[in-house]
């Protein structure tokens, strides 16, 4: 399976590291173009290549790691054709202001911008340094929460989480689990939990 990554900031790079370590092929992209990612690609190894946003978005699974103020324009500019979007975004605007979500969870809003794709919320509750570190801890595995409205898409994301080495915990639908995961407001962000056994 190829995984596209849109956004090469700290969360995107932490996920890219884990995905390539697990053997996934990764297409890494950002707004500045493939040439700006030469150093990142070299650091991540042979399983990753730099591509355009369009190339990354063509993968079966697309990890969209962008600041909230850029999400709508990027997502709505792509013709989505059934891809699964992993959404780690938190709805924070510059100045640490909470974005207006119109009574929805952030991933429900993201889903309206990515018409034609299926959104699964995941990888937003750990800091980049923790997300990028060894998922195995003292005989257990760090927990990654996920939620979504499509069971098949959640199963795909759950399999990715497991292959990377994390322990996935399904929180249900976006309007339920998304509230628990959401930062700020939800009780789960920044919790570094480990599932034993």
pLDDT attached to residue 89: 95
pLDDT attached to residue 105: 95
As given in the structure block, the two tokens for residue 117 are 């794709």
pLDDT attached to residue 112: 96
Rounded to an integer, what distance in angstroms lies between the CA atom of residue 57 and that of residue 38?
A: 19
Put simply, whether the predicted model's pTM sits higher than 0.85 gets the answer: yes
List, in order of start, the domains of the chain with CATH numbers. 2-196 (3.40.50.720)
Q: Per residue of the chain (197 residues), what is the pLDDT tens digit? A: 899 999 999 999 999 999 999 999 999 999 999 999 999 999 999 999 999 999 999 999 999 999 999 999 999 999 999 999 999 999 999 999 999 998 999 999 999 999 999 999 999 999 999 999 999 998 999 999 999 999 999 999 999 999 999 999 999 999 999 999 999 889 999 889 999 97
Rounded to an integer, what distance in angstroms lies between the CA atom of residue 184 and that of residue 85?
A: 21
pLDDT attached to residue 159: 98
Instruction: Kindly tell me the burial class for residue 32, based on how many C-beta atoms sit within 10 Å of its own C-beta (0-12, 13-18, 19 or more).
Output: exposed
pLDDT attached to residue 185: 87
Rounded to an integer, what distance in angstroms lies between the CA atom of residue 38 and that of residue 53?
A: 15
pLDDT attached to residue 51: 97
Helices 106-113 and 68-76: angle between axes, nearest 10 degrees: 30
Place of tokens 């009780």: 187
Maximum Cα interatomic distance, the chain, rounded to a whole number of Å: 44
pLDDT attached to residue 157: 98
pLDDT attached to residue 37: 95
pLDDT attached to residue 197: 75
pLDDT attached to residue 12: 96
Please give the full DSSP string across 153-191, using - where no structure is assigned: HHHHHHHHHHHHT-EEEE--STTTHHHHH-TTT-S-TT-
pLDDT attached to residue 169: 97
């Amino acid at each position: 399976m190829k995984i596209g990554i849109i956004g090469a900031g700290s969360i995107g790079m932490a996920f890219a590291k884990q995905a390539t370590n697990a053997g996934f092929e990764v297409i890494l992209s950002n707004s500045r173009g493939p040439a700006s990612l030469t150093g990142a690609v070299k650091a991540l190894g042979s399983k990753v290549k730099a591509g355009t946003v369009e190339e990354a978005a063509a993968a079966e699974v697309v990890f969209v790691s962008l600041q909230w103020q850029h999400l709508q324009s990027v997502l709505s500019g792509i013709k989505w054709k059934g891809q699964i979007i992993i959404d780690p975004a938190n709805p924070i605007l510059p100045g640490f202001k909470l974005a207006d979500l119109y009574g929805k969870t952030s991933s429900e809003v993201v889903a309206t911008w990515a018409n034609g794709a299926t959104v699964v919320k995941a990888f937003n509750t750990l800091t980049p340094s923790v997300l990028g570190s060894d998922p195995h801890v003292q005989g257990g595995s760090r927990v990654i929460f996920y939620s979504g409205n499509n069971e098949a898409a959640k199963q795909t994301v759950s399999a990715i989480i497991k292959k990377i080495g994390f322990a996935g915990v399904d929180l249900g639908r976006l309007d339920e689990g998304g509230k628990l995961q959401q930062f700020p407001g939800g009780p789960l962000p920044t919790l570094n939990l480990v599932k034993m056994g």
